[in-house]
Amino acid sequence: MAIPRSSGVQLHLTSLPGGRLGPEAYAFVDWLHAAGQSWWQTLPLGPPDEYRSPYKSASAFAAWNGFLEDPDAPVSQDEEDGFRARHGFWVEDWEAFAGEGAVADQVRFEREWGALRAYAAERGVRMIGDVPIYVAPDGADHRAHPELFREGVVSGAPPDAYSDKGQFWANPVYDWPAIRRRRYRWWTERFRRTFDLFDLARIDHFRGFVSYWAVPEDAPDASHGRWARGPGRAVFDAAAKELRPDTDAAPGDPAATDSSPLPLIAEDLGVITPAVERLRDDLGLPGMVVLQFAFDPDDPHGPHRPENHRENQVLYTGTHDNDTLRGWWESIPDARRAETDAAIDAAGVREDEPWWSLIALAQSSRASLCMMQVQDLLGLGAEHRMNVPGEQGGSWGYRLEAGQLTDEHAARLKALTTGAGR
């Protein structure tokens, strides 16, 4: 899909000064508008796990009641009945899991989120969400639809340069033939819910739709896994046919999504095969590049280097799994710093601080959308990063301080954004 040349900032709701919806969320929208930004990206909005991670939420559909500004606001029976009618596919499963009051909380969230999103839209700010590919073990979705998941194997990632044992995620993995027999209904409804909440969404671990790493559930580590075939484009075609009524082609037909692609960003980071690239491009989805991955002297032709960026792409200064720009800059070896400096000077975007030079370099990219971590705009160090992958505990706690983003920050970012034609 084509994204207009624009830029935005990623900040999860838990990272707002109050950690929830309310005045601070509206103030952040005002700041984005003043800074000339078009997008606000959050992490998944479901209930976080015991380590505060939103990527192992107990529901792929329900929003966390911890975000509510007014968790005791009255909800009428008509409102609850209306919500049940609109979200009948999943809300009773969530109620069975979460208990009494669960539906009323979803009504409250819809009310508060809808008001915030309308306020943002009036100021030219649209919302980007995040869709984890997997669900939590023994969560609401796993309990309600065990027939959609394989038995005996769980999710993970194979060994790589960073880990000789791979990554043992332990999420349930999908039984794709079983999902196909049900015409991909669960995934279509998941996308429907996503697009009810967001204008655009990043789909995590996109490569898993081509092939995924399945690990025996009793294996000591992920190195004992093997590749298994994913569904390819069929899951997206089925959703597009249902959710994009101008798409008349049948699922599996290449025309099914070409004329009206789903508003998704494909997270295509890591070891990506030609088959993954073909699926991304056939679906018309923008992929991702990360500026912090760009300046490896041993990878002179890497896709993250500014000279290799493409227009139909989303450039991130760093994702929630990366260090802050300042933390990254202060940790890299001299050879990588020299490569970075050369790129900044070649683009003519030198600023007083290295992290602002990198933000200016990101803004200058030919990628249509540039996304920045709020920590990078503030020049915060590694102690303020959002997540350290593979570590349990100690992550997901970053919080912005009230008044920390100033008018001066907004003016500086707006000047760079405007100068880059965003």
Active-site pick, 110, 267, 268, 376? 267
Spell out the residues 6+ positions from residue 115 whose beta carbon is closer than 8 angstroms to its own. none
Beta bridge partners of 371: 8, 316
**Contact yes or no for 242/177 (Cβ under 8 A):** no
Q: Which of 269, 343, 330, 336 is nearest to 298 (CA)?
A: 336
Q: Is 311 a catalytic residue?
A: no
**Contact yes or no for 67/49 (Cβ under 8 A):** no
Q: HSE-up of 191 (CA within 13 Å, CB side)?
A: 20
Q: Is 321 a catalytic residue?
A: yes
CA-atom Rg of the chain in angstroms: 21
Roughly what angle, to the nearest 10 degrees, separates helices 354-364 and 334-347? 50
Active-site pick, 112, 204, 237, 323? 204
Which residue's structure tokens are 């020299």? 338
Q: Which of 371, 365, 372 is nearest to 311 (CA)?
A: 365
Q: Which of 283, 289, 281, 280 is nearest to 309 (CA)?
A: 289
Spell out the residues 6+ positions from residue 236 whose beta carbon is closer than 8 angstroms to its own. 209, 257, 262, 283
From the CB of residue 102, how many other CB atoms can be counted at a distance below 10 Å? 18
Q: Is 24 a catalytic residue?
A: no
- State the Cα–Cα distance between residues 85 and 48, nearest whole angstrom: 26
**Contact yes or no for 279/237 (Cβ under 8 A):** no
Do the strands 211-216 and 149-157 form a parallel or antiparallel pair, or are they unpaired? antiparallel
- State the Cα–Cα distance between residues 203 and 133, nearest whole angstrom: 7
- State the Cα–Cα distance between residues 377 and 413, nearest whole angstrom: 8
Q: In Å, what is the CA distance from 410 to each residue of 6, 187, 232, 279, 378?
A: 15, 39, 42, 38, 11
Q: Which of 257, 255, 276 is nearest to 267 (CA)?
A: 276
DSSP line for 313-364: EEEES--TTSPPHHHHHHHS-HHHHHHHHHHHHHHT---SSHHHHHHHHHHH
Catalytic residues: 204, 267, 321
